[in-house]
Chain A
Amino acid sequence: MSEITLVEAVNQALAYEMQADDNVVLLGEDIAKNGGVFRSTVGLLERFGPQRVLDTPLAESMIAGVSIGMAMQGLKPVAEFQFMGFMYAGMEHIISHASRIRNRTRGRLTCPLVFRTPYGAGIHAPEHHSESTEALFAHIPGLRVVIPSSPVRAYGLLLAAIRDPDPVIFLEPTRIYRLVKQTVPDNGQALPLDKCFVLREGSDITLVTWGNMVYETLKAAGQLAEQNIQAEVIDVATIKPLDMQTILASVEKTGRCVIIHEAARTCGVGAEIAAQLAERCLLCLMAPVKRVTGYDTIVPYAKMEKHYLPTAEKIIKAVEDVLSYEG
Chain B
Amino acid sequence: MTIVAKFEIPYLRFLDSEGKINKPLPHFAKNSRDLISLYRTMVLTRTFDAKAINLQRTGKLGTYPSSLGQEAISTAIGAAMQPNDVFCPAYREYAAQLQRGVTMAEILAYWSGDERGNQFAANPEDLPIYVPLATQCLHAAGIASAFKLRNQPRVVIVVCGDGATSRGDFYEAINLAGVWQLPIVFVVNNNQWAISVPRTAQTNAATLAQKAIAGGFAGEQVDGNDVIAVKYALDNAIAKARAGSGPSLIEAITYRLCDHTTADDAKRYWDPQTVEQAWQEEPIKRLRQYLIKNKHWDETQEAHLQVECNQQIEQAVTEYMNLPPAKLTDMFDYLYASLPAIYLEQRREVEI
Contact = CB atoms under 8 A, between A and B. Distances in A.
Contact of B149 (A52, A57, A144): A52
B340 A57 contact: no
Contacts, number: 133
A226 B153 CA distance: 67
A93 B141 contact: no
A61 B170 CA distance: 11
Contacts of B343: 241
Interface stretch (B206-214, B271-279, B330-338): B330-338
Interface string A74-96: 11010000000000000011001
Given A92-B135, A105-B118, A59 B172 contact: yes
B341 interface: yes
A149 B333 CA distance: 31
Interface residues of A, number: 46
B142 A66 contact: yes
A141 interface: yes
A62 B119 CA distance: 26
A65 B144 CA distance: 12
Given A70-B145, A72-B142, A106 B169 contact: no
B146 A102 contact: no
A110 interface: yes
Interface of A: 25, 51-52, 56-57, 59, 61-62, 64-75, 77, 92-93, 96-97, 102-110, 141-142, 144, 164-166, 194, 241-245
B173 interface: yes
Nearest to B146: A73
Given A70-B143, A241-B343, A96 B135 contact: yes
A242 B143 CA distance: 32
A108 B120 contact: yes
A304 B118 CA distance: 51
13 contacts: A57-B172, A62-B169, A62-B175, A66-B139, A66-B176, A69-B143, A70-B142, A103-B115, A105-B119, A105-B120, A106-B119, A141-B335, A242-B342
A166 B137 CA distance: 22
B141 A65 contact: yes
Given A62-B172, A96-B132, A242-B342, A102 B335 contact: yes
